[in-house]
């Protein structure tokens, strides 16, 4: 059965974690390129990794994003004790912060399936199934990525998890941000994902209580492993 190396990085600065992702991602891509060049039949295996992390307050803008969706100037960022990075994933602007599970699957999709849309749907499905364990019904909105509550009601729809990935040589990086105990006030400083008519949600506001984030991580890890059919190394 496929194996995935899991690491919980705890609280880590966004740039430090981004650099770590880039190193793992770059190493995997380099191995795949070298394997394709070899003529002696010797192949070096690539390693799939899943990182969980919690970031200090930070806003990130995807390569197709619009700076106008960040509603803070430099002074406003300082007051919010937040940082900002334009980055190399897909999607628009999003927020990461305490109380959120951020997941970075750095997978060689040649080990799973070479279909980036299926990959995104599996990430969404793992979160949908995790929420169901807590009695929260969630789903998808056609044409939009992420996981939504009240997804069938245009006026009430609220996003509880955002997705944005990069893929090269069928190797992925970046991933998802899942609001568990997130301070939703920080989302008021952006137009989340560039969608100005939808609200955001967090598990603790839906349930009316703080949630054990470590417990949620355990449920989510199990759902990801079952969907992608791997065991943790």
**What residues are annotated to the active site?**
193
Residue of 130, 158, 122, 163 lying closest to 145 (CA atoms):
163
Contacts of 219 by beta carbon, 8 Å cutoff, 6+ apart: 130, 133
Residue of 108, 5, 14, 106 lying closest to 53 (CA atoms):
14
Give CA torsion, residues 188, 190, 192, 194, to 10 deg. Answer: 140
Containing H/E element for 3? strand 2-11
Q: Rounded to 5 degrees, what are φ and ψ at 157?
A: -55, 135
């Amino acid at each position: 059965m496929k194996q995935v190396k899991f690491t919980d990085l705890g609280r880590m600065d966004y740039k430090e974690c981004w650099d770590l992702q880039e190193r793992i991602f770059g190493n995997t891509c380099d191995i795949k390129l070298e394997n394709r060049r070899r003529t002696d039949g010797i192949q070096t295996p690539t390693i799939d990794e899943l990182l969980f992390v919690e970031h200090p307050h930070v806003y990130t803008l995807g390569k197709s994003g619009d700076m106008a969706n960040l509603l803070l100037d430099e002074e406003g960022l300082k007051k919010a004790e937040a940082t900002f990075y334009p980055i190399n994933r897909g999607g628009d602007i999003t927020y990461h912060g305490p109380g959120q599970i951020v997941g970075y699957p750095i997978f060689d999709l040649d080990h799973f399936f070479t279909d980036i849309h299926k990959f995104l749907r599996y990430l969404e499905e793992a979160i949908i199934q995790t929420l169901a364990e807590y009695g929260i019904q969630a789903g998808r909105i056609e044409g939009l990525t992420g996981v939504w509550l009240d997804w069938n009601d245009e006026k009430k729809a609220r996003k509880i998890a955002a997705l944005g990935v990069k893929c090269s040589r069928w190797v992925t990086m970046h991933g998802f941000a899942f609001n568990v105990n997130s301070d939703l006030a920080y989302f008021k400083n952006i137009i989340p994902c560039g969608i100005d008519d939808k609200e955001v949600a967090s598990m603790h506001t839906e349930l009316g209580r703080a949630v054990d984030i470590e417990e949620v991580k355990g449920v989510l890890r199990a759902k990801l492993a079952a969907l992608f059919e791997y065991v943790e190394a």
